[in-house]
Amino acid sequence: MVNDIKKDAEERMDKSLQAMLESFKKIRTGRASPSILDGVMVDYYGTPTAISQVANIIVEDGRSLAINPWEKNLVPLIERAILKSDLGLNPATNGDTIRLPMPALTEETRKTYIKQARSEAEKGRVAIRNIRRDANGKAKDLLKEKLISEDELRGSDDQIQKLTDKFIADVDAALATKEKDLMQV
């Protein structure tokens, strides 16, 4: 029973970490990356669809993306979707290809993005701590029902704390990597 609680907590903590990493992808660095367009949706025959599902996205050089839609009629729709997104990017169309230059980040925008990354990391830490609290609560309930001993409860608390420490360290490492990417000129 204690192992089930630990396994469930580990899975939930991993999902929290993955969610935080996904939100980090939306924070733009100075380099071009196709993942920046993951959240941008295009109206594809009445259905909101990710750009990566209707076009090839290629990194041309370190500072620009090329988007090649599979259908010509999607070019203006993709342009409009990128302009409406809050990414601050200006697409330039050249026939069937949409070029998306990544503007250089100013010191002020870098600091803003770092604040945003730190905020996302803190949300991840809070989520992981909440999962720890839930797991410890489930273990205490098992003790109240006399399904486990106090020694097993203490062991469970220790295991869950070690798991929490591991995932918080992962969050901190991901944040340090993102901050390093943001500060590169």
For 69-122, write each residue's pLDDT tens digit: 999 888 999 998 888 887 778 888 988 899 988 877 788 888 888 899 999 999
pTM equals 0.74
Starting from the edge strand earliest in sequence, which strands make up the sheet with 97-101, in order? 55-61, 64-69, 97-101, 92-94
Could you give the 3-state DSSP secondary structure of residue 106? coil
Q: Which two tokens stand for residue 166?
A: 């591991």
What is the arithmetic mean of pLDDT over 48-67? Answer: 88
- How many Å apart are CA 88 and CA 97, to the nearest integer? 19
* Band (153; pLDDT cuts 50, 70, 90): confident
Domains of the chain: 2-25+106-183 (1.10.132.20), 34-101 (3.30.1360.40)
Angle at 131 between CA 125 and CA 133, to 5 degrees: 105
Decide if 74 contacts 54 (C-beta within 8 A).
yes
